[in-house]
């Protein structure tokens, strides 16, 4: 049996769920997928990050001369965090403002841009904002569902930048609904910051629109 080794996570791609571990002594790096990390299926206390200490078992079935892979890994910092910060499995993801929003408010927030777009149609006979929300919302939900499926099957993930592009083009209501329905991307602090920045950007645009409408009406 291959002996256990120890190393440092020198690179981690959180979007795609893989990275590289450099063993002690500076030998050739090992590829590690998130599915090989202990307690991945039960839920990690946080995502792995560059600089974490890893104890690992090299994959003895890797072909000679091919990429060195890890079959089982323990991230020491995750183990320590799990021991001190353990929470009930049913608890909502922490550190996410969205997880504390009631479901009814989520639906109301998601439908507001559609109602606002109807005002543009009635005033200016311009269907473009409405068409953008109506088209991009279900498309974004479909991509969230696909990304969730890939995450569960340990496949290549849809890049976050694509998801944010869908959201900024009018799909953010769909993203809001999908996050609630699939419980997906709620633990991603950086992703959530970007998502809520997009929601705020749309909100500011609508506030400016209605401000000038009231000014013209006055």
> pLDDT for 7-17, tens place per residue?
999 999 887 88
User: Does the pLDDT of residue 86 top 50, yes or no?
Assistant: no
Residue 11: strand pairing partners: 20
Q: Which residue did the predictor score with more confidence, 183 or 85?
A: 183
In the chain, what are the domains?
5-84 (2.40.50.140), 97-217 (no CATH)
Query: According to DSSP H, which parts of the chain are helical?
Result: 76-84, 103-124, 128-152, 160-166, 172-182, 189-217
Query: According to DSSP H, which parts of 103-127 are helical?
Result: 103-124
Query: For residue 154, what pLDDT is reported?
Result: 65
The first and second tokens of residue 13, run together, are 């791609």
Q: Which residue did the predictor score with more confidence, 116 or 35?
A: 116
Element spanning 54, H or E:
strand 53-58
The first and second tokens of residue 37, run together, are 């990390």
> For the CA atoms of the chain, what is the radius of gyration?
22
pTM of the model: 0.58
Degrees (nearest 5) of the Cα angle 52, 59, 41?
A: 60
Q: What is the dihedral of CA 100, 210, 175, 193, to 10 degrees?
A: -60
User: Does the pLDDT of residue 95 top 60, yes or no?
Assistant: no
Whole-number Cα distances in Å, 43 to 35, 61, 86, 95, 195: 11, 27, 10, 15, 23
User: Does the pLDDT of residue 87 top 50, yes or no?
Assistant: no
Query: For residue 94, what pLDDT is reported?
Result: 43
Confidence of residue 217 (pLDDT cuts 50, 70, 90): low
The first and second tokens of residue 5, run together, are 């080794």
Buried b (16+ CB within 10 A) or exposed e, 99-136: beeeeeebeebbeebeebbeebeeeeeeeebbeebeeb
Output the average pLDDT for the chain. Answer: 84
Confidence of residue 92 (pLDDT cuts 50, 70, 90): very low
Region 159-181: what's the mean pLDDT?
94
Query: For residue 209, what pLDDT is reported?
Result: 95
Region 66-77: what's the mean pLDDT?
87
Q: Which residue did the predictor score with more confidence, 150 or 179?
A: 179
Residue 18: strand pairing partners: 13, 33
Q: Provide the CA 201 distance to its chain's centre, in angstroms.
A: 19
> Are the C-beta atoms of residues 199 and 172 closer than 8 Å to each other?
yes
> Are the C-beta atoms of residues 75 and 33 closer than 8 Å to each other?
no
The first and second tokens of residue 148, run together, are 């969730």
């Amino acid at each position: 049996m291959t002996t256990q080794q120890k190393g440092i996570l020198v690179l981690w791609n959180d979007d795609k769920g893989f990275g590289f571990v450099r063993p002690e002594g500076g030998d050739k790096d090992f590829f590690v997928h998130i599915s090989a990390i202990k307690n991945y299926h039960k839920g990690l206390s946080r995502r792995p990050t560059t600089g974490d200490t890893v104890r690992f078992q090299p994959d003895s079935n890797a072909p000679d001369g091919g990429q060195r892979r890890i079959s089982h890994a323990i991230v020491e910092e995750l183990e320590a965090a799990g021991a001190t910060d353990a929470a009930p499995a049913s608890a909502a993801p922490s550190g996410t403002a969205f997880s504390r929003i009631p479901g009814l408010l989520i639906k109301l927030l998601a439908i507001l841009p559609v109602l606002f777009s109807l005002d543009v149609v009635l005033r200016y006979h311009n269907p473009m904002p409405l068409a953008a929300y109506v088209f991009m919302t279900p498309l974004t939900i479909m991509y969230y569902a696909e990304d969730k499926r890939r995450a569960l099957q340990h496949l290549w993930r849809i890049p976050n930048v694509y998801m944010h592009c869908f959201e900024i083009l009018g799909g953010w209501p769909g993203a809001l609904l999908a996050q609630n329905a699939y419980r997906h991307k709620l633990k991603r602090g950086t992703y959530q910051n970007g998502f809520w920045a997009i929601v705020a950007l749309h909100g500011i645009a609508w506030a400016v629109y209605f401000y000038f409408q009231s000014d013209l009406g006055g």
